[in-house]
Amino acid sequence: MNLARTSDLWWKNAVVYCLDVETYADGNGDGVGDFLGLTQRLDHLAGLGVTCLWLMPFYPTPNRDDGYDLTDHYAIDESLGTFGDFTEFVRTAADRGMRVISDLVVNHTSDQHPWFQEARQDPDSPLRDFYVWRDEVPEDGPHGVVFPGEQESAWTYDEVAGQYYHHRFYHHQPDLNVANEAVRDEIRKVIGFWLAQGLSGFRVDAVPFFLETDGIDETMELAPHDYLRDLCAFMTRRSGGAIMLGEVNLEPEQQREFFGDEDGDELQMLFNFIGMQTMYLSLARGDAGPLADGLRSLPDIPDEGQWATFVRNHDELTLDKLTDAEREEVFAAFGPDPDMQVYDRGLRRRLPPMLDGDERRIRLVYSLLFALPGTPTIFYGEEIGMGENLAVEGRRSVRTSMQWQPGPTGGFTSADRDQVRRPPPEGDFDPDHVNVRDQQADPDSLLNWFERMIRHRRDLPILGWGEWEVVDTGHTAVLGVRHVLDDETVLTLHNLAATPSHVDVDPDVEDWQVARDLLGDQHVEADGSRLVVDLAGHGYRWLRIESS
């Protein structure tokens, strides 16, 4: 394949790593992570083989939603360092071959944002119309709340303004009014600003809500998707290789719209929420069926588009696309205690504790992460098998500080544990049991396995670029995906069950001679046209089908 083209579309063969500066590494000993600490840890990430860092919000914030509540789109929260520290970080990441993207949060601001403060106080201010106001809660407007249990309504009365304002998320996160051209200009400016600081694009927060204009009095002269197309065109005008990775947790057919036309003129990437949710159902059942159906339900996407595959993100592990009964199955298997669940739709646990630390299953899941069609997206700490801390409230249970070495704060900071905002868990997943330093020294550790898997994944652009299809393996427990690119065929097999499987597939390659084991040395010689493989319980194989 054409290497120049592959690097133009870098996101199709990237390894993305999401982290929060606040919880990653504390460089100045105040108990809060910062850019200085993160910069000192970049070699860990480069060594792992990460090619793109996604930073969760690092902008000034009252921190009532972990930084997703901004008071300034053009600055760094002072607890995380100075702008100089940020620039040093971006420069050092580039030096180590890593791009940086950041969260673009433009659906809403914090209610402490100077825009909102002026808007509520002065009905004549041009900023008033930056937000969505109504005298009465509109019957036809949007009502759905995103955080049931923590949020009562999508409209809150503001005493100062004497009106209701709209907020899809918490009441302290008023929604911006994208129907207002001045707001759209400002969002462009934000994008241009961060591109000028050296970023390679954005993880766009809450895209469908951001585009929503229902309930807004004046309608936007641009249809929502025309607006998104406009914004993406603006971004790529400013910086050719920049991308937008969208949070669009909708049904697959609706997701397709966000990639734009056949040439992909809207978002470059979308998270594969369906793949993630059906994978957990498959794991719970020991049956590949749900995941196979999930993958089959994905729409065809433009050549330049890409799915971001993930096992865990920073939010609740949402199971909202499963039926109630299916969700209950996953809850029963992986989070039966109500304290492990949140918003009636998700889990606030990380994978390794859900699997009782079973390394075979953990590796099976991460083999899927790297092998499924798309771009693997890692949440910090997954590479060492970090667990959650249920003592930390809500979704933040999975956002505890990174575990670098043994000890009460896991080497995250030199400050005392009680100064750490989100301390690591106690027990089997504490830093004495799970940490980077010990795993670096152990060739069989999860960390070293991750590094090898990432090397394999990067070596196989076919997994990000190829045409793919789910194939019949003769066994419902085994997921088979056949990837084809030019004259190359790679078949990946994953056994979701604990029992061994005898797999019999048609690799669909004429006169094939050998199925080369890409992760080991268990090559399979051809004996007839079918490929017959024995897979151990929770076993997996990546095979290149080679003809003479």
- Tell me which residues are annotated as active site: 205, 247
Would you state the structure tokens that stand for residue 107, as one six-digit string? Answer: 């659906």
Q: At what angle do helices 359-371 and 273-285 cross, to 10 degrees?
A: 150
In the complex with ligand GLC, the residue whose CB is nearer, 80 or 105, is: 105
Residue 247 vs 383, nearer CB to ligand GLC: 247
Q: Is 210 in the site for ligand GLC (CB under 6 A)?
A: no
List all residues 6 or more positions away from 238 whose beta carbon is below 8 Å from its beta carbon.
191, 192, 195, 196
Q: Kindly provide the residue ranges of all beta strands, DSSP E only, lying in 267-324, ordered along the sequence.
A: 269-271, 306-310, 317-318
Closer of 255 and 501 to ligand GLC (Cβ): 255
- Among positions 188-207, residues that touch ligand GLC (CB under 6 A) are 205-206
| Rounded least distance, CB 68 to ligand GLC, Å | 3
Q: Identify the residue among 169, 194, 404, 449 touching ligand GLC (CB under 6 A).
A: 169
CB of 105 to ligand GLC, least distance (A): 6
Residue 92 exposed, middle or buried by CB count within 10 Å (0-12, 13-18, 19+): middle
Closest separation between CB of residue 533 and ligand GLC, Å? 39
Residue number with CB closer to ligand GLC (64 or 516)? 64
Q: How far is the CB of 185 from ligand GLC (least distance, A)?
A: 22
CB of 271 to ligand GLC, least distance (A): 10
- Phi and psi torsions of 525, nearest 5°: -80, 150
Q: Out of 68, 155, 366, 450, which residue is the one contacting ligand GLC (CB under 6 A)? A: 68
Strands (DSSP E) contained in 40-154 are: 52-55, 99-104, 133-134
| 77/315 with CB nearer ligand GLC | 315
Q: Residues binding ligand GLC: what is the number (CB under 6 A)? A: 8
In the bound state with ligand GLC, the residue whose beta carbon lies nearer, of 273 and 370, is 273
Which residue has its beta carbon closest to ligand GLC?
68
Nearest to 515 by CA among 545, 535, 482: 545
Mask of contacts with ligand GLC, 403-442, x by CB under 6 A?
Answer: ----------------------------------------
Distance CA 232, CA 235 (A): 5
392 and 357 Cβ atoms separated by less than 8 Å: no
Both structure tokens of 106? 């433009």
The nearest distance, CB 394 to ligand GLC, in angstroms, is 10
Q: How far is the CB of 209 from ligand GLC (least distance, A)?
A: 8
Beta bridge partners of 503: 533
Q: How far apart are CA 19 and CA 364, in angstroms?
A: 23
Looking at the Cβ atoms of 315 and 383, the one nearer to ligand GLC is 315
Contact residue for ligand GLC among 9, 52, 101, 105 (CB under 6 A): 105
Tell which one of 26, 34, 65, 175 touches ligand GLC (CB under 6 A). 65
- Residue 401's Cβ-count burial label (10 Å; 0-12, 13-18, 19+) is buried
How far apart are alpha carbons 205 and 246 in whole angstroms?
A: 7
Site track for ligand GLC across 225-254, x = CB under 6 A: ----------------------x-------
Angle in degrees, CA 316, 318, 322, rounded to 5:
165
CB of 187 to ligand GLC, least distance (A): 15
Backbone CA torsion sign across 173, 179, 183, 184: positive
Taking the alpha carbons at both ends of the chain, their separation in whole angstroms is 20
Q: Which amino acid is at 155?
A: W
Judged by the rule CB under 6 A, the positions of this chain that interact with ligand GLC are 65, 68, 105, 169, 205-206, 247, 315
